[in-house]
C-alpha cells in the first residue's frame, strides 16, 4: 500500500467500494429487511409505525396452520429429485454423445440449448400448446377425445409432473452445455491411457473422465439445488402456484402481493427459504475450501 500513489488508492477504493455498496444495497439490506419483517404483522399499507412485532407467531402459523407450506416443501423436494436423478444425468449423457463430434452435432447442440435462451413467456406458451386439454398436441397424439382428454395443467394429481417435464426441458440444455465445456477440457491422454489398459468406454468415463471433472460436478450440483429452490416461474405462469403446484417461491409472492397482503407472513416463508439455501451454500463453500487445501 505504501507504494501506491494517492490516485491509485482512490481508484482502488472505487473499484472495491462501488461493487461492495451495490451488493450491500441489492442483496444484504433486502435480506436483512425480510428477516426483520418475518417477526412482524404488517399489510404493507401505511407507515412503519403500523408494524406490529409478533415474535415467532408467523413461523408457528406456517408450520402448524398453513397446509400449502407442506405441499410446497414436498413439491420443491420433488423438483430437486427429478432434476438430480433425471434431468441432470440426461444432460450429462447428451454432452457425452455430442462430445464425439457426430455428424450434425452443432444442430443437436443448438436444439438442446435453445430452451435455455427462450423467454419464460414463450416457453410457457410452447408447453401450453402441448398440454392444452382441448387443443393440445399430447392429447391429440394419444388419440383422446371428449371426456377422455386429460387436463394436464388442471388436474392437481398430475400437473406437477407436467410442469416438471417442462422445467427439465430447460434444465437438460443448461447441464449439457456445462458438461460439454468440461469434457473439452479433459486431457485426451487420460482417455488414451485408459483405452490402452483395456478399459471400456463406460469404465473410462466413470473411472477417469468423471472424477477429472470434479469442479464441473460441484457447479452442476449447486445449480441443480438452486434451480430447485428457486422454482417459481413456470408454476406462476400456469396457475399462480395453486391447485397442486405450490412451491415456496410462489407462496412468498402470493402472500406479499395477494389481496390480504401478508408482508410479515410472506417474509417468514422467504426467511425459511433463505435458511435452506444457506445450508447448501455452506456445504458448497466447505467443499470448495477442502478441494483448495488438497
**Residue 7, strand partner residues:** none
Residue 292 has what pLDDT? 67
**Residue 53, strand partner residues:** 40
Question: How would residue 92 be classed by pLDDT, with cut points 50, 70 and 90?
Answer: very high
pLDDT higher than threshold 70 for residue 232: yes
Residue 24 has what pLDDT? 93
pLDDT higher than threshold 90 for residue 212: no
Query: Which residue, among 265, 243, 235, 293, has the nearest Cα to 41 in the 3D structure?
Result: 265
Residue 62 has what pLDDT? 92
Average pLDDT over residues 97-103: 81
Query: Which has the higher per-residue pLDDT, 3 or 72?
Result: 72
Share of the chain above pLDDT 70, in %: 96
Residue 58 has what pLDDT? 92
Residue 46 has what pLDDT? 72
Residue 107 has what pLDDT? 85
Residue 294 has what pLDDT? 66
Average pLDDT over residues 252-266: 82
Measured CA to CA, the distance from residue 158 to residue 140 in angstroms comes to 18
Residue 18 has what pLDDT? 92
Burial-class residue 88 by CB neighbours within 10 Å (0-12, 13-18, 19+): buried
pLDDT higher than threshold 80 for residue 193: yes
Yes or no: say if 199 and 208 are a contact pair by the CB < 8 Å rule.
yes
Share of the chain above pLDDT 90, in %: 27
Residue 82 has what pLDDT? 95
Burial-class residue 176 by CB neighbours within 10 Å (0-12, 13-18, 19+): buried
Provide the 10 A C-beta neighbour count for residue 161: 13
Question: What's the pTM value of the predicted model, to 2 decimals?
Answer: 0.83
Query: Which has the higher per-residue pLDDT, 122 or 178?
Result: 178
Residue 2 has what pLDDT? 65
Question: How would residue 30 be classed by pLDDT, with cut points 50, 70 and 90?
Answer: very high
Q: How far is CA 173 from CA 94, 136, 240, in A?
A: 9, 24, 25
Residue 281 has what pLDDT? 79
Average pLDDT over residues 75-89: 93
> Which tens digits make up the pLDDT trace of 114-137?
888 887 777 877 888 888 888 888
Amino acid at each position: 500500500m505504501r507504494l501506491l500513489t494517492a490516485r491509485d488508492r482512490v481508484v482502488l477504493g472505487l473499484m472495491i467500494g462501488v461493487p461492495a455498496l451495490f451488493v450491500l444495497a441489492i442483496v444484504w439490506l433486502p435480506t436483512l429487511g425480510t428477516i426483520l419483517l418475518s417477526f412482524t404483522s404488517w399489510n404493507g399499507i401505511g407507515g412503519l409505525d403500523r408494524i406490529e412485532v409478533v415474535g415467532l407467531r408467523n413461523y408457528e402459523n406456517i408450520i402448524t396452520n398453513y397446509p400449502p407450506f407442506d405441499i410446497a416443501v414436498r413439491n420443491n423436494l420433488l423438483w430437486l429429485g427429478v432434476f438430480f436423478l433425471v434431468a441432470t444425468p440426461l444432460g450429462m449423457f447428451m454432452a457425452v454423445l455430442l462430445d464425439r463430434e457426430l455428424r450434425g452435432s452443432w444442430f443437436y447442440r443448438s436444439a438442446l440449448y435453445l430452451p435455455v435462451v427462450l423467454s419464460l413467456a414463450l416457453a410457457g406458451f410452447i408447453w401450453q400448446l402441448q398440454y392444452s386439454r382441448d387443443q393440445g398436441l399430447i392429447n391429440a397424439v394419444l388419440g383422446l377425445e371428449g371426456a377422455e382428454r386429460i387436463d394436464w395443467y388442471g388436474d392437481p394429481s398430475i400437473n406437477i409432473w407436467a410442469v416438471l417435464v417442462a422445467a427439465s426441458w430447460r434444465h437438460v440444455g443448461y447441464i449439457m452445455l456445462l458438461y460439454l465445456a468440461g469434457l473439452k477440457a479433459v486431457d485426451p491422454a487420460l482417455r488414451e491411457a485408459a483405452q490402452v489398459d483395456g478399459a471400456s468406454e463406460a469404465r473410462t468415463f466413470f473411472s477417469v473422465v468423471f472424477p477429472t471433472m470434479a469442479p464441473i460436478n460441484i457447479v452442476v450440483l449447486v445449480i441443480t439445488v438452486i434451480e430447485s429452490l428457486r422454482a417459481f416461474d413456470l408454476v406462476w405462469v400456469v396457475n399462480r402456484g395453486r391447485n397442486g403446484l405450490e412451491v415456496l417461491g410462489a407462496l412468498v409472492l402470493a402472500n406479499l402481493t395477494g389481496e390480504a397482503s401478508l408482508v410479515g407472513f410472506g417474509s417468514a416463508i422467504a426467511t425459511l427459504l433463505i435458511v435452506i439455501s444457506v445450508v447448501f451454500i455452506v456445504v458448497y463453500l466447505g467443499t470448495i475450501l477442502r478441494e483448495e487445501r488438497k
